[in-house]
Amino acid sequence: MAIAVVALVIPDVRRVGWLIVLSLIVAIAGVITGIVALVGISKSGHKVRRFRTAYAGTLLCVLAALWMFVFLCRPADRWVEHEPGMRCQANLRNISLGLSAYQDDYHGELPNTLEGAYQYMPAPSLYVCPNDRKPMLIPDSFRYKERFPDGGLKCSYHYVGRLSPETDKRVILMYENAGNHSYKYKGNRVHNRHAAFADFHTEALTEDEFQAGLRESLELVKQAGWHSYSPERKAEIEAFYTDRPPR
């Protein structure tokens, strides 16, 4: 029964959910048949016929179990690939909540670094993608020095930093490195990038969609207070939106 519930909840397994349910029905029928036959053996003299019925019920149970195993294993590779991606996107969503809280407390301003989000989301695990084996190291400040024995907060996400309050909410604020997430689709391997936007929603984008989003974001940033940034800050923003952020 638990397997059937999982089949309805997990999208990758849902496609074969009806087969799993059918397997459960066959298994239940086999169990009932076996029990009835075993009870009949003790009450009837036709033990050979009852024994064959019990054997048939047991065989049905075994076949149903094998059936469920095969069809659960088929989408398992995709589920293993997608699960870290969902955790990664959830990380970005939680960090975005921290940025939103900072913005509310500081009159609409975003923090210069993700340390501002850490004030509200002080969980180091949120800042590391499950598939990122070489996360960056954000140098710590005096407030959090004792929490990071490695010398800083390990982080998988690039953050553009403080932007003009007039910046369009469609711009990308954070994204992860390329190559952390991929899955097979119609025989081809698709690479995903997770990004968080200025309205604090997150998306899983294909590489082409992500690059298009970076180009659009840079154009939108340049339309809102671009003259107010220093030359150094302009160079940092342009590097971020051309997928060349410093590590």
DSSP per-residue codes, 65-120: HHHHHHHHHTTHHHHHHHHHHHHHHHHHHHHHHHHHHHHHHTTTPPPSSTHHHHTT
Same domain, 124 and 42: no
50 and 101, same domain (yes or no): no
Query: Which tokens go with 16?
Result: 């074969």
Task: Kindly state whether residue 156 falls inside one of the protein's structural domains.
Answer: yes
The rounded distance, in Å, linking the Cα atoms of 28 and 30 is 5
Distance CA 221, CA 203 (A): 19
Phi, psi of 203 (to 5 degrees): -145, 150
Query: What span, in angstroms and rounded, lies between the C-alpha atoms of 69 and 36?
Result: 26
Placement of tokens 């200025």 in the chain: 198
Residues 157 and 47 in one domain: no
Residue 175 · residue 136 · CB < 8 Å = no
Final residue belonging to a domain, choices 56, 74, 92 = 74
Same-domain status, 62 and 175 = no
CA–CA distances in Å: residue 173 to residues 51, 55, 158, 242? 69, 63, 8, 13
Q: Over its length of 247 residues, how does the chain's per-residue pLDDT go in tens digits?
A: 444 434 444 444 444 455 566 666 766 766 676 666 556 655 555 555 555 655 565 666 666 666 665 555 554 444 445 677 889 999 999 999 999 999 999 989 999 988 889 989 988 899 999 988 888 887 765 566 667 777 778 899 999 999 998 999 999 999 998 888 876 666 777 778 999 999 999 999 988 999 999 999 999 999 998 999 999 999 999 999 999 886 6
Same domain (yes/no): 58, 113: no
One domain, residues 149 and 91: yes
Q: What's the pTM value of the predicted model, to 2 decimals?
A: 0.66
Q: Are residues 116 and 229 in the same domain?
A: yes
Task: Looking at the structure, tell me whether residues 37 and 157 fall in a common domain.
Answer: no
Write out the residue range of the structural domain in which residue 70 sits. 2-74
Do 128 and 165 fall into the same domain?
yes
Same domain, 23 and 97: no
- Neighbouring CB atoms inside 10 A of 64's CB total 21
> Do 59 and 83 belong to one domain?
no
- Does residue 245 fall inside a structural domain? no
Could you tell me if residue 44 is inside a domain? yes
Report the 10 Å Cβ neighbour count for 223. 12
Same domain assignment for residues 57 and 131? no
Would you say residue 247 lies in a domain? Answer: no
Residue 246 lies in a domain: no
Number of domains composing the chain: 2
Q: Whole-angstrom Cα distance, residue 17 to residue 11?
A: 10
